[in-house]
Amino acid sequence: MRNCFKGERWLCVEGVLSEKSVNCAFFLVYGAHIRDEKRVVWEELSYMAGLCPGACCFLGDFHEIAQVEERRGLESLSLSAQDYKVWVHDMGLVDLPISDRKFTWFRGQSCSRIDRVLVSLEWLEAFPETRLRGGSRGLSDHCPIIVEEKRLRVGPRPFRSLDSWFTHEGFLRMVKEEWRGLGEIQFTDKLKALTVPLGRWHRDNFGDMDRKILKFEEEIQKIDDMIGNGNYDETVEARRKALVKCCEKWYLRKELHWKQMSRSRLARDMDKNTRYFHNLASARRRNNRIDTLAINGRLIRNQARIQTAIREFYKELYHQERSPEMGKFSSSV
């Protein structure tokens, strides 16, 4: 911990997480009940976040919802809820979903999700696997929220080709050679076998794209320094043009990669939105992951049991006895 700040309804702890050497600021929040007081709290948090460089994480009881579905029986959002949504948008925060429950606060028949965790884009870049789950509330009105950052095993990865590979002049030649070398085996087995040389080729040619881009940028900067000192000739200019061309190629490859992973269709190529695509892909990965599954009325978090249950479900689904209509259709084809 490096610094600690305290407000009437929040506590900020700033420091460096030694495991990843990331500058972080944690804001523990206990939201106000009245709209004007809530706006004061949002303004104070905005000001403090501006003083804290690095990744920010806001967690606690915000006394506010963001969607109608987050409060049982509600039909429209209040003005304070709309203020809250504007504040989250202006701060560029991401409201992390909780995996195993819909509401976090209970009193009689009233239920709401007012306990939440908001993180900045810098936080997601440093900790892309951050996820939430709820604990047992016991005698309290509130459910505790547990923040975790760990990579889960989610079974075998599907075969995927990346659009950025096709920008490399040697990609198709490598695929043809490897495909012929696999001989006469079943198509699916051939695809599975092809993932090994593809992974090796990807690491050799596309591994650590950021470092490749940084290297080109540093070389371009050196040439700019030379030109600034009066060392300019046609050879220097030609080298700079070649470096810029290579750098632009890697910009495009990185953007194609993250745009494909994010499945975004909202932007044109070369919009320089790589950071946006990266965080969109991270959000998709978190939302698509199954952390908890209800099996026979019980919540199961064990990944091996979840995989077994899903496999058995689809095995049963696709091995059900065919109806007469289905049998007739199949025989006619």
* Confidence check: pLDDT of 44 > 90: yes
Mean pLDDT value across residues 59-87: 92
Q: What percent of the chain stands above pLDDT 90?
A: 23
User: What distances in angstroms separate CA 37 from CA 25, 46, 80, 84, 310, one per listed residue?
Assistant: 23, 14, 10, 12, 48
Task: List CB contacts of 7: < 8 A, sequence separation 6 or more.
Answer: 41, 44, 48
The pLDDT tens digits of the residues spanning 262-315 come to: 654 444 444 455 555 555 556 555 555 666 777 777 777 666 777 777 777 777
Top CATH class, 3-149: alpha beta
Q: Which of 282, 262, 284, 283 has the alpha carbon at shortest distance from 273?
A: 262
For residue 330, name the pLDDT band (cuts at 50, 70, 90). very low
How far is Cα 176 from Cα 31, in angstroms, rounded to an integer? 61
Q: What percent of the chain stands above pLDDT 70?
A: 79
Least confident range from 63-77, 162-176, 286-300: namely: 286-300
Task: List CB contacts of 40: < 8 A, sequence separation 6 or more.
Answer: 32
Report pLDDT for 327. 47
Domain boundaries, the chain: 3-149, 163-288, 293-332
Cβ atoms of residues 253 and 167 within 8 Å = yes
* Confidence check: pLDDT of 25 > 80: yes
Residue showing tokens 């967690």:
59
Mean pLDDT value across residues 12-16: 89
User: What distances in angstroms separate CA 113 from CA 123, 144, 242, 315, one per listed residue?
Assistant: 22, 12, 55, 36
Most trustworthy range by pLDDT among 168-172, 209-213, 307-311, 312-316 = 168-172
Report pLDDT for 26. 93
* Confidence check: pLDDT of 60 > 90: yes
* Confidence check: pLDDT of 203 > 80: yes
* Confidence check: pLDDT of 1 > 80: no
* Confidence check: pLDDT of 189 > 50: yes
The pLDDT tens digits of the residues spanning 134-159 come to: 888 888 999 998 888 765 555 555 55
How far is Cα 181 from Cα 145, in angstroms, rounded to an integer? 53
The better pLDDT of the pair 333, 148 is held by 148
The better pLDDT of the pair 182, 35 is held by 35
The pLDDT tens digits of the residues spanning 237-255 come to: 888 888 888 888 888 888 7
